[in-house]
Amino acid sequence: MSTRNFPYLKFRLKNRGSPRLDPASGQERKIPNTDYGQNIPRLLAYTGCTKIRDEATGQLFNFEKKDHLLTTHVATPPNCSWAKDREYFANKIMEVEKHPRARLGRDGIGARPKGMPTQAFEGACVGYANSVSMILKTAVFVDIHDAHKKDKTLDESEHNVHAHFFFPTREVTPDGFGKKLRNLDLNTRSSEIIEALRKEWARCLEHAFKTAGQHDVKMEHRSYKRQGINQQPQPKIGNAAKAMHERGESTDRMKLFQQVEQDNQALDKPDTEEMMLQKEIDRLEALQNTLLPKNCVANYVIDDHVNQRSYTGTRAYAQRTYDWLSENFSGEPMLSELFNDFELLLDGPTPEEEKIPELPPEPTIGDLFESIAMWIDRLELRKRPRPHYERKWKAQQRQERTRGSPLFAGLER
């Protein structure tokens, strides 16, 4: 299944007035992703390619000459058919929001992903508008545009098909506008709801791909950085720079785009050094999980003094294990420390210290490392410090034993 990042769905906050002045510096404090001085009748007239009169000023906004509208849809809560009247709805928003800096609504633009048919994209937009209307309990206007509708020479995949979404920052009820949606009204509180709206947009697009017969496409609403992907986002080219590039002229925007594309292709290629390091890590993990031969593992015996099962170690057991390791892993540098410890054990333990700590039923080389470390600790009992340093010494011993497997001690991950 291939994962694709769809074009960024950005919801801008529509403000009625101008930015607030900072009392300390006297400069304007602008909120990110915010449009100031917006007129909702003009916005809905443009996105719907129709004409709407602003009742407050008497100004007529006529965009009927714009013929790039493909389809339009209005999703409303139950029994709220009054909200489908675009002109009445737009003027009602301006009437209800009386504060000079009131937040009027949210406006979003979503582009059609590459490879998706136009009909499937229209179905995704309508389904998304219905979902948002149900979640927020408000009316959602969706208008789908095609910037290259007149150009018959272009293929359908080359058309700039996109959707405009608009919904107010108030609930819509059968009697009119309801309470304010504070999660959309303030940018400090809107991060969670905007994240949920973008996730729902990804789900609708993924369903549209499945409807079109493409079942292996998974849409992702998060950025490359949040996904942990080491890639740069592609910069926007723009119509002017694209036209200059088609005429054979050089532009800085197109150079930047090509440079980012080359860097991303270089990042996609596997790193040879990293692959070798991963192979070495896999080899050491396999070595650590290698089972010891049965003739190197002593049988269970009953210790009458403590009445519990444990391994009884002998010099013969240690010698067989050392011989098997030397025969099969003599050239393994990571086991050099283990060989040195075995030589010390074979020369050092007294009959009272021959009892081996308990191992799992099927011990591996990694378990043997831990067992040998415990053996070495017992041999070091004679080197214990004075009593008032005993607690610190024990803590250091425990810390060294829990640092991880010695197989990876000399390997930098």
> In sequence order, what DSSP letters do the residues of 61-112 get, joined into one string?
EE-TT---EEEEEEE--TT-GGGG-HHHHHHHHHHH--STT-EEEEEEEEEP
Same domain, 297 and 165: no
Same domain, 182 and 320: no
| Structure confidence by residue, pLDDT tens digits, 107-119 | 988 888 888 888 9
Q: Residue 413: what pLDDT? A: 43
- What integer best gives the mean pLDDT of the chain? 77
Element (H, E) at 373: helix 365-379
CB 143 within 8 A of CB 167: no
Specify if 23 maps to a domain.
yes
Same domain, 66 and 150: yes
What's the number of domains the chain is made of? 3
Same domain, 330 and 361: yes
Specify if 278 maps to a domain.
no
Q: Are strands 170-173 and 176-180 parallel, antiparallel or unpaired?
A: antiparallel
Specify if 330 maps to a domain.
yes
Same domain, 79 and 180: yes
| Structure confidence by residue, pLDDT tens digits, 62-108 | 999 888 899 999 999 999 999 999 999 999 999 998 888 888 898 98
Q: Residue 72: what pLDDT? A: 93
What value does the mean pLDDT take over residues 382-404?
A: 57
CB 131 within 8 A of CB 32: no
- What torsion do the CA atoms of 202, 208, 213, 216 make, to the nearest 10 degrees? 0
Closest CA relative to residue 105, chosen from 69, 134, 132: 132
Q: Give Cα 406 distance to the centre of its chain.
A: 34
Q: Packing angle between helix 86-96 and helix 40-47, nearest 10 degrees?
A: 160
Ranked by mean pLDDT, the top range of 38-47, 179-188, 332-341 is: 38-47
Closest CA relative to residue 165, chosen from 124, 226, 210, 219: 124
Q: Which residue has the tokens 């493909």?
A: 70
pTM over 0.85: no
Which residues, 6+ apart, have CB-to-CB distance to 336 below 8 Å? none
User: Which residues span the domain enclosing 243?
Assistant: 230-269
| Structure confidence by residue, pLDDT tens digits, 154-178 | 777 778 889 999 999 899 999 999 9
Specify if 413 maps to a domain.
no
d(CA 204, CA 1): 17
State the CATH number of the domain containing residue 56. Answer: 3.30.930.30
Residue 247 has pLDDT above 80, yes or no: yes
Q: Packing angle between helix 365-379 and helix 272-288, nearest 10 degrees?
A: 70
- 318 is written with which tokens? 């240690």
Same domain, 349 and 290: yes
Q: Which residue has the tokens 């694209």?
A: 242
d(CA 207, CA 219): 9
Same domain, 36 and 136: yes
d(CA 254, CA 252): 6
User: In one letter, which amino acid is 185?
Assistant: D
Q: Residue 398: what pLDDT? A: 62
Same domain, 248 and 101: no
Same domain, 22 and 163: yes
Same domain, 245 and 381: no
- Residue 362 — φ and ψ, nearest 5°? -125, 80
Specify if 218 maps to a domain.
yes
Which residues, 6+ apart, have CB-to-CB distance to 402 below 8 Å? none
What value does the mean pLDDT take over residues 328-357?
A: 65
Ranked by mean pLDDT, the top range of 186-195, 367-376, 381-390 is: 186-195
SS3 12: strand
Same domain, 216 and 237: no
